[in-house]
Amino acid sequence: MTGFSRTTQELDCDGVPLSAIARAVGTPAYVYSAALLRERYRELDDAFGEYPHAIHYAFKANSTRALVNELRAIGSSVDAVSIWEVELARSVGFEGRQIVFDGVGKSDAELDVAVALDLEAINVESTGELARVEAIATRSGRVARVAIRVNPDIDAKSHPHISTGRRINKFGIPVDEARALLTTLPARRALHLVAFHMHVGSQITSLDPIRRAAASLATLVHEAQRAGIALEYVDAGGGLGISYDGGPVPSFRDYASTLVEELRTTRLPIVVEPGRSIIGPAGVLLARVIDLKPRTSSSEFAIIDAGMSELLRPALYDAFHQIEPVISRDGGPRQYELVGPICESGDVVGRDRMLPPLAVGDLVVIRDAGGYGSVMASNYNRRPLPAEVLVESGTWRVIRRRQTLSDMLALET
């Protein structure tokens, strides 16, 4: 089995014991499986079959250079949400035409660079932004390739913080406004509309919102085509969820066939922007139990050396991640509240978990931490960013060393 599995009593990553990695690099540390990362990318790629498509991996989920390099090597393109992600992508060898540039608040400085780079598309999120792109392109004598991000007013039914497709959310342009914009485009010589785009949310665990959003996108594309606008592709965004708790989630195959079914009539290639579904399960956060103390008559606190500074999701969205000891001790399960070391009561990584008995010094892993883990880490409490490790072909290497206090202080006067 690719990725993280337990052959004996110990959890390993593609044959490398996690305890060996912890011994060498310390904890907390993120550990990724290159094989699982590639496997997930290929599974999604294959799921589209013969239908023309392009996978623009969403850097926002995790953009550690060695990981995005792995994806570049197997054919991925890029979805960036800031000019710094665009520049990172270019620095590892992605071409401008492999990059779509999203984001609800791109500054003029970011747009200046983006227009000059002739990216695959700047995905605009408001009529004001479209006008700013037009002004920059006109000033520099260029034609900007743009896609319009549509807000289809569809509830993705994920956590409110990561649902983006309702009219009340800050993202995209409502469908009626997008329709009105279409009529203005032929006269706007500095703009080249290449696609419509949507992204209705993240961690979506049902195909229904994806199907409805794609159907609404298809309607708009047909209208544009009838108006004589030759679009180049249709961008269905990212958002497919993963099973953090073991519950059912749509397969890549069902996801891809839903998109193809709804968008086939446009006769356009489909672009997708997956982040979490590619990288999430391919990474874990490795931590150590620092202390144990009684909590209630039936449960104990297990204080571990990773918390909201290393994995913000539980504190930010009440997100669930499976947690398990690296080496299981014998004995019946006990109830633990797994908490981080941060001085905040909200720094709870796992509530009321039944686990094999833990002892101080034991290693634990927090599963599915490959996406929205290291990218959301902070120096809160002056904690250094953890090391990141990539396991590949039976060996491992540090792909980002642990930050030091001097690294942090280097920016300060």
Nearest approach in angstroms of CB 60 to ligand PLP is 6
Distances (CA, A) of 2 to 12, 72, 348: 10, 20, 29
Q: What are the residue numbers of the active site?
A: 343
Nearer to ligand PLP among residue 63 and residue 202 (C-beta)? 202
What is the sign, positive or negative, of the torsion defined by CA atoms of 339, 386, 40, 218? positive
Q: Within 62-91, which residues bind ligand PLP (CB under 6 A)?
A: 79
Nearer to ligand PLP among residue 79 and residue 300 (C-beta)? 79
Nearest approach in angstroms of CB 237 to ligand PLP is 5
Q: Residues near 140 by Cβ (< 8 Å), separated by ≥ 6?
A: 112, 115, 116
3-state helix, strand, coil in the chain (%, to 5): 35, 25, 40
Nearest approach in angstroms of CB 288 to ligand PLP is 28
Nearest approach in angstroms of CB 235 to ligand PLP is 9
Nearest approach in angstroms of CB 199 to ligand PLP is 4
Rounded CA-CA distance 73/66 in Å is 11
DSSP 141: T
Q: Which range touches ligand PLP (CB under 6 A), out of 261-269, 273-281, 344-352, 355-363?
A: 273-281
Q: Within 358-387, which residues bind ligand PLP (CB under 6 A)?
A: 371
Helix (H), strand (E) at residue 188? none
Residue 337 in tokens:
């509240």
11 in Cβ contact with 18 (< 8 Å): yes
402 in Cβ contact with 386 (< 8 Å): yes
- 277 scored as a contact of ligand PLP (CB under 6 A): yes
DSSP letters spanning 214-277? HHHHHHHHHHHHHTT----EEE----B---SSS-----HHHHHHHHHHHHGGGT-PEEE--SHH
Among residues 202, 258, 309, 374, the one that binds ligand PLP under rule CB under 6 A: 202
Q: Lay out the site mask for ligand PLP across 228-267 (x = CB under 6 A, - = otherwise).
A: ---------xxxx---------------------------
Nearest approach in angstroms of CB 29 to ligand PLP is 22
Q: Which range touches ligand PLP (CB under 6 A), out of 55-63, 284-292, 308-316, 328-336?
A: 55-63
- 152 scored as a contact of ligand PLP (CB under 6 A): no
DSSP 199: -
Nearer to ligand PLP among residue 173 and residue 355 (C-beta)? 173
Q: Lay out the site mask for ligand PLP across 94-133 (x = CB under 6 A, - = otherwise).
A: --------x-------------------------------
Rounded CA-CA distance 370/284 in Å is 6
Among residues 54, 58, 88, 284, the one that binds ligand PLP under rule CB under 6 A: 58
Q: Within 158-197, which residues bind ligand PLP (CB under 6 A)?
A: none
- 283 scored as a contact of ligand PLP (CB under 6 A): no
Nearer to ligand PLP among residue 16 and residue 156 (C-beta)? 156
Pairing type for strands 323-325 and 363-366 reads: antiparallel
**378: phi > 0 → left, psi -120 to 50 → alpha, else beta; which?**
beta
Binding site for ligand PLP (CB under 6 A): 58, 60-61, 79, 102, 199, 202, 237-240, 273-277, 371
